Amino acid sequence: MTPAPQQSRWRRHIAAAFTEHLALKASAVLLAIVLWFVVAAREPMEEVASVRFQPQLDSAVVLRDPPSMIRALVIGRASEILKLSNTPLVIRRSIASDVPDTLVLTLRTSDVEVPEGVEVIVRDVEPRSLTLRFESTASRMVPVRSALLVRAPRGTSHVPVQLDPESVTIRGPRRAVTQLHFVSTMPDSITLETLPHLVDVDTAGLGVAVKPNQVKAIVGRRRP
């Protein structure tokens, strides 16, 4: 057999391989692709996911800057890792009022909370530590206590004193603010009347600013 007929026959075989039974071959390729995706979806994979930091701050503590971004290396099926886009991983930490102005937190994989219903394993967390900086000044609401002495006729039962507002805002150094649980009015004596009295809040020695620094005292009756 001469080379030319042999080459012609090979060309026909090659052409037939690419042109005959196209529908059947396309179905086989499509099935293989689907099976590959099914197997890949079930096979564990590693992925880097974002972690949300949620500090539980005391009312007198304010973060100066937002915390750095935290990421975790997780392992799990692709469908499970995909769930983290809607319900992310979380790290929670309680921050007390006596925290220093700068706090360095060590982060561990055990600190990362996996949302309920998501089956992934946290293998690593980055960074390994988080630096938090807090405002040196703070403000919060505290109640006002009455130091007023009501002069009333003999035989009169206990006379209530209502203060308006009942709470005021204090602002100043964070440590001073956290140590104050209430403020008092200036000590004074007033008569039993129906007209309200304006009284000063005693700010001596507090080391904080008080706003408002006067409250209205209503004696002998309750505010509506």
Three-state secondary structure call for residue 33 = helix
Task: Give the domain ranges of the chain.
Answer: 3-41, 44-133, 137-219
Asked if the domains at 44-133 and 137-219 fall in one CATH topology, the answer is yes
Distance of alpha carbon 106 from alpha carbon 52, whole angstroms: 15
| pLDDT at residue 20, as a whole number | 57
- Cβ neighbourhood burial of 221 (10 Å; 0-12, 13-18, 19+): exposed
pLDDT tens by residue, the chain, 224 residues? 455 566 666 666 555 555 555 566 667 667 777 665 655 556 788 999 999 999 998 877 888 888 899 999 999 988 899 999 999 999 999 998 788 889 999 999 999 999 999 999 999 999 999 999 988 888 889 999 999 888 766 656 667 788 999 999 999 988 888 889 999 999 988 777 667 888 999 999 898 999 999 999 887 654 44
Q: How far is CA 87 from CA 112, 122, 170, in A?
A: 13, 15, 38
Distance, in Å, from the CA atom of 224 to the CA atom of 170, rounded to the nearest integer, reads 26
**137-219 has which CATH code?**
2.170.120.40
- What's the pLDDT score for residue 6? 60
CA neighbor of 144 nearest in space, from 203, 178, 185, 188: 185
pTM above 0.75, yes or no: no
- d(C-alpha 86, C-alpha 183), whole Å: 45
The reported pLDDT for the residue numbered 223 is: 46
Q: Is domain 44-133 annotated with CATH 3.40.50.300?
A: no
pLDDT at 196: 80
